[in-house]
Structure 1
Amino acid sequence: MLNHGIKTYPMINPLHWGFNGTVEQHVSDNGSVQIPLKDDKDSVSFQDFVTENVPALKNDAKFKLDPKIFTGILQTMYLSTADYTKSFPIFYGREIVQFEDGVCTADWVRSDWTTKYNQDKKTGSFNKDAFNKDEAETHPENWPRLHPRTRYMSDSELNETHSDNRPVVIIMHGLAGGSHEPIIRSLAMHLSQIDNGRFQVVVLNTRGCARSKITTHALFTGLHTADIEHFALREKDRQPERNLYAVGCSFGALMLSNYLGRVGDKTPLKAAATLCNPWDMVLSADKLQNDFWSRNLFSKTITQFLVRLVKVNMGELEVPEGTEPSHPPTVENPEFYTFTKSNLKKAFKLTKIIEFDNMFTAPCLGFKSGIDYYKEATALNRIQNIAIPLLAINSKDDPVVGDVAIPQEFLNKNSNVLLCDTDLGGHLSYIQSDGDSWSTRALAQFFDSYDKNVL
């Protein structure tokens, strides 16, 4: 378990104001890992590769955000409150992915449906009658309705998706989010459109998120990464010759980095990226509790997202009042025994994520408190085991993660990790004047360049 030596309990971070941002690269003192190039070219360091092929992420690169959204707090608030209903109008085809211990859902970008449903490139409007007819014919009984432009795929459409031999980028979303989030749709759009559709793109929805169902008596945690592991292995087994990549956003970045640190060189992924990863969960939780703006503007909203997630899945999660665990809960053998009606009623009054984890997550995994859970789930515990090139983008003015949770002091443990931190950007935001995100464009360019040039 990590001994927290970065800084302890930050209160209010220095304010970052402005709209002209700067990138700063960080690598191990021993340098960056060498990666082999195609066409008999010499190998190059991962840092030099990014510098040469992704100009937006080179050291001291400049970027410009919307001048009206001039702090990380405003950036983050704008992303969560602005009207993005007509932005990034991609179509998703949903697959229910069956695992040994239940199901999750995977939303595959279906660019071909823009033609199928006569989508107007300028307005995003499409033939809703035809779409709704197909949606009604494919929707499983007793499953929730889906977000706009998302429907379940027919067997033939699923076969088409599975027979696609393009390289795959798997997207992992944030806490209680899903494929419908604006930042995820922006990322999925840029990845699916770059280089005339080079990639097949899929969002792996965490169990219970994005209007999917929890079918087993368990809730996701930062320590349970089997879904991304099994999904990536399934895709590699299906078509062994194609490349697999993954990118995680916020809590999805934590889960992705924990997965990479847990399996090491056994991952089938060729490279990965994280955006706004809460690398140190203890420090990020402290940011949300003790920073005035973070606590009052974001903590309660995130907490109540989680509470509503539990509410809509109580049919599967609920246990009788007074239930005690049948065995001592552990991470490997959890017991979700605290999901009672009375606890749910109390949860609607919670304002802090740690209160939610104290009530639900920690005891079910055998931890005494949410802090103990955070100490164990911190990705910095496993950063030294990441065995593939990992690009990490974090913002110093992130009001959810906090600047002290950015792992500059831990990079010496692994030359595979290239950290690009920025002075501006907020949490999963980086909103420019056109309403789109600087970060999602940069990430798409990174994966495109990597797949084209790296052996």
Structure 2
Amino acid sequence: MKADAFPYRAPWWLPGGNAQTLWAALAARRHFGPAPRWQRSRWTTPDGDFVDVDQALHPSAPDAPLLVLFHGLEGSSASQYAVAFADFAAAHGLAYAVPHFRGCSGELNHAPRAYHSGDFAEIDWILRRFASEHPGRPLLAVGVSLGGNALMRWAGELGDAAAQQVRAIASVCSPLDLAAGGHAIGRGFNRLVYTRMFMRSMVPKALKKLEQHPGLFDREALLGARDLYEFDNLFTAPLHGFRDTADYWSRASAKPVLHRIRVPALALNARNDPFVPANSLPTAQDAGTHVTLWQPAQGGHVGFPVSHGPFGLPGHVRAMPEAVGHWLLAHL
């Protein structure tokens, strides 16, 4: 671990991790330049399914770096952090792309599977394709929340070989210990707000998947799922080769493999993230020599809003992409 730090301080009018999380997602300004415009491509997966990839249309030099963002649970190129990183990329002349995990682009994928937090094989073929399609561009990758855990897991699994694909990677507010994060989101306020939000999106998509593939799982049991633990037990785990939720959360977590990462990697986690308990965050001993840990006291979950505008309102969320983006560029 290096001694770098992200000196973030939340506005006085946004006390606490929940306020910083929700304001950033719902109200804060996402971009200073024009809103990103996208060109969508459909890529066939190695198993004959598809993912949709949105590439930003702002100009960049042919040899400019390509920044690839892997989104979070039920995220997309429209997520506030994806737009904010697009704004950073445009301002600094970087090419930028957001590959959608299966079923997250607005159209349900075809295969009897979805996506999950530890799918490093999916990360691998996507990054390999970007590298093959853009041989003149250095490749940088950032993963947010779920996408960051998958990206870090990929780098840990590949070790030295990851450097053949990317120059540097970063994770933002990722639950690198999935069990700790999963239990945290299933309690108290988190259960009332965030769990319900995710379930409202994930359960209907799972039911549509069942229409595609009758008998894939127990419909009535899924309708009775009350939280992500039960959802993962009935859907995510069995569809992706895990025995149950406990097996999934254990085997998919990136924290146990951080010390095997051999490319420059940054793990940014706010210590007041309502999804990721501070006592579960990696230590320098967990991280090894190639992983930089930024663990500011504030920021929430993919929040990090900054005062901007009259009386500080509505604020903006560009500070985090600016800090993470410059860290990545410094490691080209």
**Could you say whether these structures have the same fold, taking a TM-score greater than 0.5 normalized by the shorter chain as the test?**
yes
Letter paired with 2:234 = M
1:19-418 paired onto structure 2 within 5 Å:
27=1, 47=2, 58-59=4-5, 62-82=7-27, 89-101=35-47, 102-112=49-59, 164-194=62-92, 197=93, 199-267=94-162, 268-290=165-187, 292-316=188-212, 318-320=213-215, 337-338=216-217, 342-343=219-220, 346-408=221-283, 410-411=285-286, 414-418=288-292
What residue ranges of structure 1 are gaps of 5+ in the alignment? 1-26, 28-46, 49-57, 113-160, 321-336
| Paired position in structure 1 for 2:329 | 448
Judged with a 3 Å threshold, the aligned counterparts in structure 2 of structure 1 residues 212 and 165 are, in CA distance, closer, same or farther, namely: farther
Letter paired with 1:259 = W
Structure 1 residue 105, shift from structure 2 partner: 1.0
- Superposed CA deviations along residues 228-273 of structure 1, whole A, max 9, x for unmatched, are 2112212222343431110000000011011111122222111101
Between stretches 427-436 and 209-218, larger displacement belongs to 209-218
Q: Report the Cα distance in structure 1 between the residues aligned to 2:290 and 2:284, rounded to whole angstroms.
A: 15
SS of residue matched to 2:35 = coil
Structure 1 residue 216, shift from structure 2 partner: 1.7
**Counterpart contact for 2:88–2:325, Cα < 8 Å:** yes
Q: Report the Cα distance in structure 1 between the residues aligned to 2:322 and 2:31, rounded to whole angstroms.
A: 18
Structure 1 residue 67, shift from structure 2 partner: 2.3
**Counterpart contact for 2:28–2:316, Cα < 8 Å:** no
Structure 1 residue 84, shift from structure 2 partner: 6.1
**Counterpart contact for 1:304–1:350, Cα < 8 Å:** no
Q: Which has the larger radius of gyration?
A: 1
Letter paired with 1:243 = P
Structure 1 residue 223, shift from structure 2 partner: 2.8
Letter paired with 1:205 = H
Q: Report the Cα distance in structure 1 between the residues aligned to 2:109 and 2:160, rounded to whole angstroms.
A: 31
**Number of aligned residues:** 321
**Counterpart contact for 2:112–2:239, Cα < 8 Å:** no
Structure 1 residue 288, shift from structure 2 partner: 1.6
| Paired position in structure 2 for 1:422 | 296
Between stretches 386-395 and 432-441, larger displacement belongs to 432-441
SS of residue matched to 1:207 = coil
SS of residue matched to 2:331 = helix
SS of residue matched to 1:245 = strand
Structure 1 residue 225, shift from structure 2 partner: 2.3
**Counterpart contact for 2:76–2:100, Cα < 8 Å:** yes
Letter paired with 2:123 = I
What residue ranges of structure 2 are gaps of 5+ in the alignment? 309-314
TM-score (norm. length: structure 1)? 0.65
**Counterpart contact for 2:8–2:296, Cα < 8 Å:** no
SS of residue matched to 2:330 = helix
Q: Report the Cα distance in structure 1 between the residues aligned to 2:211 and 2:263, rounded to whole angstroms.
A: 40
**Counterpart contact for 2:149–2:174, Cα < 8 Å:** yes
**Counterpart contact for 1:91–1:111, Cα < 8 Å:** yes
Structure 1 residue 191, shift from structure 2 partner: 2.0
Give the superposed CA RMSD.
2.4
Structure 1 residue 387, shift from structure 2 partner: 1.2
Q: Report the Cα distance in structure 1 between the residues aligned to 2:160 and 2:102, rounded to whole angstroms.
A: 26
- The answer on 1:436 being equivalent to 2:316 is yes
Letter paired with 1:168 = L
Q: Report the Cα distance in structure 1 between the residues aligned to 2:24 and 2:98, rounded to whole angstroms.
A: 19
Structure 1 residue 409, shift from structure 2 partner: 5.7
**Counterpart contact for 2:38–2:54, Cα < 8 Å:** yes
SS of residue matched to 1:187 = helix
Q: Report the Cα distance in structure 2 between the residues aligned to 1:445 and 1:201, rounded to whole angstroms.
A: 15
- Superposed CA deviations along residues 134-182 of structure 1, whole A, max 9, x for unmatched, are xxxxxxxxxxxxxxxxxxxxxxxxxxx9x94422111000001111111
Identity %: 22
**Counterpart contact for 1:398–1:425, Cα < 8 Å:** yes
